Structure 1
Amino acid sequence: MRSQAHYISTAADPEPGGSPAEASGHPFRRGLLSMAFTELWERYSFYGLQGILSFYLLYTRADGGLAMDPAVAAGIVGAYGGAVYLSQILGAWLGDRLVSPQNMVLYGAVVITAGHVVLAFAPGLTGLGVGLVCIVLGTGALKTNITSIVGFVLDQNEDEGYRDAGFSYFYMAINIGAVVGPLTTGLAQNELGFHYGFGLAAIGMAAALVQYIASMKKLPERARTVNNPLPAGRRPLVALAALACLAAVGAAVAAGLLRAENLSTVVTVAALVAAAAYFLTMTTSSAVSADERRRILGYLPLFLASGMYFGFLFQKFTAISILITERIDLHIGGWRFPVAWVTTVSPLAAVLITPLIAKVWKSLGERQPGPVAKIAVGLIQIGCAYLFLLVISEATGKADIPLVLILLFMMAAGSSEVFVGPIGLSLATRIGPGTFRAQMVGLNFLTLALGSSLSGLLGQLFTSIDNASYFAVTAVCGIGIGSVLLAVRGPLGRLLTAGLDR
């Protein structure tokens, strides 16, 4: 397998004698740039909303919020994030069996835009519920299918070396949107109110929709076809199953079994069940070869470790948001630092550190760590970030924590994402079985579903124990899981490359 340094260097420089426009395999050719910008605006809207959502639930009504109990707010935010990514399993299946990926992305963008508009104009719990449900369903249709389309674009190049580079640039677009979104919506919320911030997120999603419609003609033919069409005779059964699921959810809500307090638990269980079903389906399918099966089994521990990692990272929207509202002084002179800007430091750090990490990989060449070791480094780093938070939390006692220290924590935690996020994306499209490509991408996004719902559970735990114990447990878990991955990186790496050219 070629080194990531090779991927980045070759991606930046086309073959001698050809300009970027002439190099048909250049990663930004034939739709990749358009997909990156579409994803940038979609992530702008998603993180623009997420940056202020938890504070909308936590703040008093006098400050424009809904004044929810912190444990309930953490559960809702964690469940919402988990449901967004969990729905992408359904979106991946639909894009593989019933509707072309190109149309799935289009329909999803329309529904997401509608959800943001509802949040901007409809106040209170009703607007919140309708808006979030629309965003969950729309994102489920869009996310895995747009990632699959990027894979189709990169598949047109015969040099496999472009794949990781292409996904690195695509992931950078995600992080740019994740930075600019909360910066602008956070400022709007700080100066004008929450619904103005929601309105900016709606504008960002509208921009993503326009960008995508303009780029549809540039996409490869594979994006316009259904990869594995569902036989017509089975479609009524699928429709009945969908109706039964909707009825079951409605009955659970009516019976009081599905409440704000237990939403994160329900979504966590659903994510684990969905992951188990996908792993079982792919490893037992007759269409999967022995080498493909080995690669899937090798991915299993990385899936669980990545889920835990994102659980720690996404606490910026749950436990850390609660900490910010309770113990961080946001005033700088007579000006109040926008609360959403605190969590924005996390993706900003990931964007800024990417070129430095690329240089490190280039200098190491073939000696750089493999994907297992990189994910392990990410876990250890975020564990150390929580260790730092433990120290400053204890050092300040019951006093406010200085803003600069929480920003340093966000930088340390956020920059660790470059060792986990893009590696998972690239692995999913490279090691997945040929007949389960879209589902493998959906499985990778399940790490985010698991992480988001776990962050809700962790946020609820944060409200019930002292800060020192909480940060100590989180730090030990991050460092411990990363250390175990480092110890088994050799055999896991061999499983992940079974049957592939090294």
Structure 2
Amino acid sequence: MNMKPDQTTAAAGRETDGTADGRPGHPLKRGLWSMAFTELWERYSFYGLQGILSFYLLYELADGGLALDPAVASGIVGAYGGAVYLSQILGAWLGDRLVSPRDMVLYGAVVITAGHLVLAFAPGFAGLGIGLVCIVLGTGALKTNITSIVGFVLDGDERYRDVGFSYFYMAINIGAVVGPLTTGLAQNELGFHYGFGLAAIGMCAALIQYAASMKQLPERARTVNNPLPGNRRPLLALAVLASLAAIGAAVATGLLHAENLSTVVTFASLAAAAAYFLTMTRTSAVSRDERRRILGYLPLFLASGVYFGFLFQKFTAISILITERIDLTIGDWKFPVAWITTVSPLAAVLVTPLIARMWNRLGERQPGTVAKVGIGLAQIGCAYLFLLVIAEATGKADIPLFLILLFMMLAGSSEVFVGPMGLSLATRIGPEKFRSQMVGLNFLTLALGSSLAGLLGQLFTKIGNSAYFTVTAVCGIGIGLALLAARRPVGRLLESGLER
């Protein structure tokens, strides 16, 4: 995305007449939009569920909830979110070694749809457990592979890569906005399972959209990049069976339970990330420049994990704060609780075109990826500083609804500096033999962030609001400033061996 003004004009002209680099029809108008709309509906279902899940666990039985302790509810929500993204490592590996990315997305969509249908029609803990497990497994198959397909579509168009991924990310956030708006209204007026049913309908739409566009995908999406030798497949089957047996034994013996789920998923995410970094930096299949780029990505990985931990607190600590200190009554009407968390992705959607246009106009003068992530962290830290001021000013009284909505806007709009940059960077700097798995590594930042948000939610139940928001604000601003200070050396590592 380093374009001079004359290059920008020429690029805009090629997009208008529908050609780019001699190919009929720019990918922004063809394959990218097919994948973007599939992802929009999939995210509609995911965030439609996520928007009401915390409150389903927290609300009393009389209100249609499960009446869980707030610390337990935070642990479950954080672990579920972390497991969704952690499973994408397996999905990325399968998409690289066993099944084509195109087919992995299709199979994942079918399993996710089944999970949402179970949640909609099966009440209580049994429906909750089966439905969430299906969504975890299906999303693992779908997410990294659909992102890899977008990378294939934009391959060879480096001028448009950041712009293309920004619009793809905007589709994600549109689904993240519309999902909780509709499911939250259905939950507010009719009950939780009606909200779950709308999420199921959204996932059906994603499945139909993807099935209709499969034939348009690039050839690379239909092939297995690095096929697993046939003699190693029995070992894979044994490893899967052993893993399932170990999880079953941990649950049966009480080693794995609701209260420690977030802790387990956090350590699993860190262990998986360490394994990936070690494997990719030590294998002979990775060149010296590729190894330098991976090392340059390490500080961004950790910083992004912390960032998403702060952002995803809207499903844990902030959800608890909402149930305890926000008056939702407006006259005779109760404001849908899920709509509060919707403000966060809505702010990101609204600001994305403005930021993308600004990057396009700045060209070579725009901040690098490291600086953008640093800006995002500093901004979300300032959002928590704002929340600290609110908590101090109101004392033990209710916090006005409009102030928590303003906090959500400040925190949510920072995502445009972190999320799209991670997706774009992972598909650009990944080693040739580990391209899909590099995307999976990027999604581990979301796994780490989700499970970290669960742990932070549990911490929120044990210490005062002021102390909690102080620590969060200082960490966000401090890490953001540290990244800004280190942007040049880290940026040089990330650009090793790449054409600018």
| Structures share fold, TM-score greater than 0.5 | yes
Counterpart amino acid of residue 28 in structure 2: F
| Per-residue deviation, 1:163 | 1.4
**CA contact under 8 A between 1:86 and 1:449: conserved in structure 2?**
yes
**Paired residue for 2:200?**
202
Q: What is the deviation of 1:32? A: 1.5
Identity in percent: 82
The counterpart of 2:246, out of the listed 245, 248, 269, is 248
In structure 1, stretches of 5+ residues that fail to align are: none
The equivalent residue for 2:61 is 61
Superposed displacement of residue 27, structure 1: 2.9
1:152 CA drift (Å): 1.1
Aligned to 2:257: 259
Output the amino acid matched with 1:147.
Answer: T
Shift of 1:366: 2.0
Are 2:136 and 1:130 aligned?
no
Residues 11 and 166, structure 1, Cα contact 8 Å, conserved in 2: no
Deviation string 1:338-396 (CA, Å, 9 cap, x unpaired) is: 00000000000000011221333244332221000000000000000000000001100
Where do residues 291-440 of structure 1 align in structure 2 (5 Å cutoff)?
A: 291-440=289-438
Quick check: 364-373 or 309-318, which moved more? 364-373
Report the Cα distance in structure 1 between the residues aligned to 2:469 and 2:13, rounded to whole angstroms: 44
Q: 1:482 aligned to 2:485?
A: no
- Counterpart Cα distance in 2 of 1:116 and 1:337: 25
Query: Of 237, 262, 284, which aligns to 1:239?
Result: 237
Q: 1:478, CA displacement in angstroms?
A: 0.1
Mark the CA change 1:215 to 1:473 in structure 2 (over 3 Å): closer, same or farther. same
Tell me the distance in 2 between the aligned counterparts of 1:322 and 1:343: 12
1:97-136 correspondence runs (5 A): 97-136=97-136
The 1:471/1:10 distance shift into structure 2, 3 A limit, reads: farther
Does the 8 A contact of 1:30 with 1:219 survive in 2? no
Unaligned runs of 5+ in 2: none
Alignment correspondent of 2:184:
186
1-structure distance, mates of 2:149, 2:466: 45
How many aligned positions are there? 500
Retained in 1: the 8 A contact 2:347–2:412?
A: yes
Using the TM superposition, give the Cα deviation of residue 224 of structure 1 relative to its aligned residue in structure 2, in angstroms. Answer: 1.1
Q: Name the CA shift for 1:315/1:246 in 2 (closer, same or farther; >3 Å).
A: same
Partner AA of 2:122 in structure 1 = A
Match of 1:172 in 2: 170
Q: TM-score, normalised by structure 2?
A: 0.97
Give, as a single letter, the amino acid of the residue that structure 2 aligns with 1:480: G
Please name the residue that 2:266 is paired with: 268
- Report the CA distance between 1:13 and its aligned residue: 4.4
Match of 1:145 in 2: 145
Shift of residue 79 of structure 1?
0.2
Distance of 2:449 and 2:6 partners within structure 1 = 31
Give the structure-1-normalised TM-score: 0.97
1:8–1:358 CA contact under 8 A, matched in 2: no
Alignment of 1:72-91 (within 5 A): 72-91=72-91
Contact 1:7 1:165 survives alignment (8 Å): no
Rate the CA distance shift 1:466–1:3 in 2: closer, same or farther, 3 A: farther
Deviations 1:292-319 (A, max 9, x none): 0000000000000000000000000000
Letter aligned with residue 469 of structure 2: F
Change (3 A) 1:289 1:71: same
What SS does the aligned partner of 2:499 have? coil
Distance 2:15 2:34 in 1: 22
Deviations 1:426-454 (A, max 9, x none): 00000000000000000000000000000
Q: SS of the residue aligned with 1:161?
A: helix
CA deviation map 1:65-104 (0-9, x unaligned): 0000000000000000000000000000011111111111
| Structure 1 residues 333 and 12: CA distance shift in structure 2, 3 A | farther
Query: What letter is aligned with 1:54?
Result: S
Confirm or deny: 8 A CA contact 1:10 1:162 kept in the other structure.
no
